[in-house]
Amino acid sequence: MFSFFEKYKKFIFTGAIILLTVLALVTSGKKLNATIFESALGFVVTPFQDITSGIGRWVENTTSERREQEEILAENESLREQVASLQADNTRLSLYEKENAKLSALLKIAQKYPEYNTFGTTIIAKNPGSWYDVFTVDKGTSDGVEANMVLAAPEGLVGKIIESGATYAKGQSILDSRSSVPAMSARTGDLGVVKGDYTLMNNGLCKMEYIDAEAEIAVGDEIVTSHLSDVYPPGLTIGRVKEIKNDTNGLTRYAIIEPAVDLKHLDTLLVIDKTNTRTVSPGDLSVSTDIPATEPETEEEPLTETDETETTDTGNTPDEETQTNSNSEADTN
């Protein structure tokens, strides 16, 4: 029988379809009361109609669900792309906000010294090690950067330019063992020289030397650049006193200084041109580009013999001579 069905299955399916079609037409009338034949025929046809309707609904539901799933997947992919784009925009805005805050802080320092030319620069390389002792910035002589120009961060002094090429310059921080900065206590006015120390640099510290034995400087005092320098503008914050020790000679003391600037993490810096002879490019962070007019100095009369004697009598004390010599040494370095 199975072979008979396989042999004539096309005819059987065709006949079944025709029969179902005829039955559907016959039962589609709108009579209020069905005949006995119609009732019997409906009894036979109804199960087949239920089956075909169920299959149709299943196919329709399956197709609809598949279509909805595809739409949901496409929508999810679109939303993921939008979220990724928004996250990238948020990251960029956060970086711009931080950069703007740094530039605003640098601008405040620049406004403190309106008589000097100032502009921004970015560190592009550094010597090996955790701390920034010697590093490279992205501006050089073509931008007006020359040796002995001062480098500052929003928190205070970083160091100075020690070498300048056409499109780059090398900077030296106060941690470098060759660095030497005339300094003073902002509270007491006690003078000294802040120098880099190879051993202290490993801990991000430097020292202030040539402090008078009777100085009132104390732990916690703010140390700033003094007025006794031809390189550094006065009043720039260097750091705070962490510890005070006596020198072996017993005549002077020295202090361990913790820099105000985080010299482990530097990027954008302010260049201060104390010579005030360079103009600033239009795109640079700038405060003043004009040299203020100054009245010519009057020529002083030569000292008489009496004046020379008085000057000699009121000359520097040994401690003052030591401080003057140390400040001269610091500017030279």
Cα–Cα distance for residue pair 301/31, rounded to 1 Å: 138
Beta bridge partners of 246: 253
Beta strands in 130-177 (DSSP E): 134-137, 150-153, 156-164, 169-173
User: For residue range 8-66, what is the model confidence (pLDDT) as tens digits?
Assistant: 667 776 777 777 776 666 655 545 455 666 566 566 666 766 677 777 777 777 888 88
User: What pLDDT sits at residue 249?
Assistant: 82
User: For residue range 191-246, what is the model confidence (pLDDT) as tens digits?
Assistant: 999 999 999 999 999 999 999 989 999 999 999 999 999 899 999 999 999 999 99
Beta strands in 17-86 (DSSP E): none
User: What pLDDT sits at residue 43?
Assistant: 60
Cα–Cα distance for residue pair 62/26, rounded to 1 Å: 31
pLDDT band of residue 86 (cuts 50, 70, 90) is: confident
Cα–Cα distance for residue pair 120/84, rounded to 1 Å: 33
Cα–Cα distance for residue pair 206/257, rounded to 1 Å: 5
Q: Regarding predicted confidence, which is higher, 318 or 135?
A: 135
Cα–Cα distance for residue pair 257/241, rounded to 1 Å: 5
Please calculate the CA angle 310-322-248 and round it to the nearest 5 degrees: 145
